Amino acid sequence: MMVPFHVLPDITGPTPVIDVDRVQDNIRGMADKARAAGVAFRPHFKTHQSRDIGRQFREAGVDAITVSSVAMAETFAADGWRDILIAFPFNLRELDRVNRMDPEIRLHLLVDHEHTIEALKTGLTRSVGCYLKIDSGYGRSGVRWDRPERIARMVLALNGPLSFTGFLTHAGHAYQAADSVEILRIVEKTCRRMSSLRACMTARDIRVPVVSIGNTPGCTLARRFPDVDEIRPGNFVFFDLMQWRLGVCEAKRLAFALVCPICGIYPERGELVVMGGAVHFSKEKLDLPDGPCYGMGIGMTTGGFGELQPDIRLVALSQEHGVVRAPESLLETVSIGDRLAFVPVHSCLTADLYPAYRTPDGGTVPRVNSVDLRGAAFRE
Ligand code: PLP
């Protein structure tokens, strides 16, 4: 049974906490996986957005990274990263900002439209690499993999300040998979479609330097990535309930939790209320067989995280309230003012709401977040 813990007594409101040993293991595990599979590792930094955690990746041998905004690219460029991919269909409104970035940085942009390519050629005052975004089945963005004529024309249009880095795809539909077998099938199909596209290019004398794939479910479960050169997972640094539920990670790899103070106890309903609502977690939910779940309890000691507690569950969120269903044994032992820790459904979204992480031994690990990065534009 999880008892309210006594670590971090200075925490007074919803606060993100990471288990540094688990973060380290998750980073090493994925770096080793990439090495064993013979692919380059370009991790997505949008999950942690922390220079300190970024340095742990560097220690694991990583020298090229993925981010999802120009602002995030600037943040990591300022910490010495010299090979950065902004993996979002390029926002032409940010062209000037890209022109202002250090020309020494190998910057790669993502494009999936002829108009973007032409506007970049006209407006760029520096050179950039371009990944062409390929839709290999997710249906979110990118040119469909089975349109080789159009893709070839777009590749041939990459000249002047633009060079062709390669093809990039993101099989985000892996998150809708029923289980790990289906995730592996999606990896296999993604690799096959990208390989056939590369063959179509070879037949037209177009060399594809890099084929880049990657999400956490596929990269964690698969051992081989045939005809792929690079993987870009990001969420694995913390994992979360979504990954655990999909069978992607074991509970002992969950490395991120939100500590929330108890503000109400309702034994007659079998529930507690914590300060920890949608503004603190985001509103991502899992539909479990016995009802919705917005977060699950996890133990915590100064040494790190303890056991996941599936019977302590956030079952409803409003703006600031989190309603927790908990067993009688917990309801009888807790007091108002005690704190509980919860693993969120989607760690990327929850972490992005905060300016720093705490560690169970009392430390603080700074990070940036999208709200502050967007706010900076108003302060300029
Ligand atoms: N690459 C791209 C283009 C993405 O959009 C994402 C995540 O959304 C990733 C890589 C990383 O995937 P994951 O969050 O599953 O690790």
Pick from 131, 168, 232 the residue to mutate for probing ligand 1's pocket: most ligand atoms within 8 Å of its CB: 232
- Work out the average pLDDT over 269-284: 98
pLDDT of residue 5: 72
pLDDT of residue 3: 56
Checking 12-15 for CB contacts under 8 A at 24+ apart, the result is 12/261, 13/261, 13/275, 14/258, 14/259, 14/260, 14/261, 14/275, 14/276, 14/280, 14/281, 15/258, 15/259, 15/354, 15/358
Q: CB of 48 closer than 6 A to ligand 1?
A: no
Q: CB of 169 closer than 6 A to ligand 1?
A: no
The letter for the amino acid at 9 is P
pLDDT-derived band at 4 (thresholds 50, 70, 90) equals: low
Q: CB of 232 closer than 6 A to ligand 1?
A: yes
In this structure, are residues 4 and 339 in contact, taking their beta carbons and an 8 Å threshold? yes
The span from the CA of 248 to the CA of 240, in Å, is 10
Which of 27-41, 206-220, 360-374 bottoms out in mean pLDDT, i.e. has the lowest?
A: 360-374
Pick from 67, 170, 352 the residue to mutate for probing ligand 1's pocket: most ligand atoms within 8 Å of its CB: 170
**pLDDT surpassing 50 at residue 1:** no
% of the chain beyond a pLDDT of 90: 94
Which of 86, 102, 105 shows the shortest CA–CA distance to 94?
86
CA-closest residue to ligand 1 atom 6: 215
Tell me, in angstroms, the distance from the centre of ligand 1 to residue 214's CA: 7
Query: Which atom of ligand 1 sits closest to the CA of residue 348?
Result: 14
Q: CB of 358 closer than 6 A to ligand 1?
A: no
Q: CB of 214 closer than 6 A to ligand 1?
A: yes
- Work out the average pLDDT over 356-376: 92
How many CB atoms are located within 10 Å of the residue 139 CB?
10
The packing angle between helices 70-77 and 370-379, to 10°, is: 90
Output the CA–CA distances (angstroms, integers) from residue 167 to 92, 150, 158, 189, 255, in the order listed: 20, 13, 13, 16, 32
In this structure, are residues 68 and 86 in contact, taking their beta carbons and an 8 Å threshold? yes
In this structure, are residues 259 and 17 in contact, taking their beta carbons and an 8 Å threshold? yes
The span from the CA of 43 to the CA of 241, in Å, is 20
The span from the CA of 84 to the CA of 64, in Å, is 6
Tell me, in angstroms, the distance from the centre of ligand 1 to residue 172's CA: 7
- Report which DSSP code applies to 269: G
Query: Which atom of ligand 1 sits closest to the CA of residue 110?
Result: 3
Query: Which atom of ligand 1 sits closest to the CA of residue 217?
Result: 15
**pLDDT surpassing 70 at residue 88:** yes
**pLDDT surpassing 80 at residue 283:** yes
Q: CB of 216 closer than 6 A to ligand 1?
A: yes
Q: CB of 296 closer than 6 A to ligand 1?
A: no
Residue with tokens 């009802």: 291
The span from the CA of 21 to the CA of 185, in Å, is 31
pLDDT of residue 191: 98
Pick from 44, 168, 173 the residue to mutate for probing ligand 1's pocket: most ligand atoms within 8 Å of its CB: 44
pLDDT of residue 370: 87
pLDDT of residue 350: 98
CA-closest residue to ligand 1 atom 13: 215
- The whole model's pTM is what? 0.96
CA-closest residue to ligand 1 atom 12: 215
Query: Which atom of ligand 1 sits closest to the CA of residue 232?
Result: 10
Query: Which atom of ligand 1 sits closest to the CA of residue 233?
Result: 16
**pLDDT surpassing 60 at residue 74:** yes
pLDDT of residue 371: 86
Q: CB of 69 closer than 6 A to ligand 1?
A: no
pLDDT of residue 275: 98
Tell me, in angstroms, the distance from the centre of ligand 1 to residue 232's CA: 7
In this structure, are residues 18 and 352 in contact, taking their beta carbons and an 8 Å threshold? no
Q: CB of 215 closer than 6 A to ligand 1?
A: yes
Query: Which atom of ligand 1 sits closest to the CA of residue 168?
Result: 3
**pLDDT surpassing 70 at residue 57:** yes
Q: CB of 174 closer than 6 A to ligand 1?
A: no
CA-closest residue to ligand 1 atom 5: 170
